[in-house]
Amino acid sequence: MTDAIAEIGVFGGSGLYSLFDDEAREYRVDTPYGEPSDVITIGTVGGRRVAFLPRHGRDHRHPPHRIPYRANVWALHHLGVRQILAPCAAGSLDADVCPGDMVVCDQLVDWTRGRAGTFYDGPQTRHIGFAEPYDPWIRATLLAASDRLGLGLRETGTMAVVEGPRFSTAAESLILARLGCSVINMTGSPEAQLARELAVGYATVAIITDHDAGRAADLQIPAVTQEAVGRMFAANLDRLRALLFDTIAHLSSEPSPLSSRALDEATFG
């Protein structure tokens, strides 16, 4: 890792392609895993140095199954980032979770396939603990920020991460709902586990943009479209930015022991 240039990272999801209002410096980072999704901008938020990277690229050129996840996470870590906030657009699999809600997920189910999901391809092997996929200290800071701002974030939720880029069939989303998943997204994995492999704290806040296909059928409303997702995300962008800025200002200087000590007992042999 180079000398720390930033301490906190933010991945921008669909609709969040920039973060800073004032002057920010751009960085290009070469990684062992190719180029990140875009240049990384670094600025100051609440007295903290923050690195921002839109995971799809500023022109949304990377579909979810082609995002260079390893390059993105490695690049932020290389710049000194120890904690990552990873907001994302998500669909609802729960009738009680509605468009416009924001969910601080506490669990993840990975339904992707074929993505490069580890930095340890051998000969060195590491098996990280991942029972709690999201850093508890960052989650608590997000929820405290919600209380200060009166945003009413939902405190828990299980995110199903699917391959994309297509949306789910009605049957698929009903199956995921019956398995206990409450929100559905295409980018939450392998981001979370890659951050854990580098002992970087990571948490997400899911901005609910739609009822997923099976739930929409139950509610007798139109199925999700990309246009509707973009419109709902844009309508909640100011709330999201306020949440991120308040959270950044109050984050601990270090990730929780769950994240920072992730590699202590992970080496095989």
Q: Is 238 annotated as catalytic? A: no
Say what the pLDDT of residue 2 is: 57
Percent of the chain with pLDDT over 70: 98
For residue 95, the number of C-alpha atoms closer than 13 Å in the C-beta half-sphere is 9
Q: What is the mean pLDDT of residues 82-91?
A: 96
210-247 tens-digit pLDDT? 998 877 777 777 777 778 777 878 888 899 999 999 99
24-39 tens-digit pLDDT? 899 999 999 999 999 9
Rg (CA), the chain: 17
Q: Which listed residue (212, 218, 238, 246) is catalytic?
A: 212
Nearest to 195 by CA among 118, 264, 136, 115: 118
Q: Which listed residue (210, 218, 238, 264) is catalytic?
A: 210
- Set out the domains of the chain in order of their start, with CATH numbers: 8-260 (3.40.50.1580)
Say what the pLDDT of residue 149 is: 97
Distance CA 157, CA 183 (A): 7
Report which of residues 13 and 90 the model is more confident about: 90
Residue with tokens 């969910």, as numbered in its chain: 103
Distance CA 209, CA 224 (A): 9
Give, for 51, the enclosing helix (H) or strand (E): strand 48-54
Nearest to 12 by CA among 66, 62, 65: 62
Give, for 54, the enclosing helix (H) or strand (E): strand 48-54
Distance CA 210, CA 197 (A): 32
Q: Is 3 annotated as catalytic? A: no
172-214 tens-digit pLDDT? 999 999 999 999 999 999 999 999 999 999 999 999 999 988 7
Alpha helices in 65-127 (DSSP H): 69-78
Structure confidence at residue 269 as a pLDDT band (50, 70, 90): low
Q: Does position 251 have pLDDT exceeding 60, yes or no?
A: yes
**Cβ count within 10 A of residue 216:** 18
Give the chain's mean pLDDT. 92
At 83, phi and psi to the nearest 5?
-140, 140
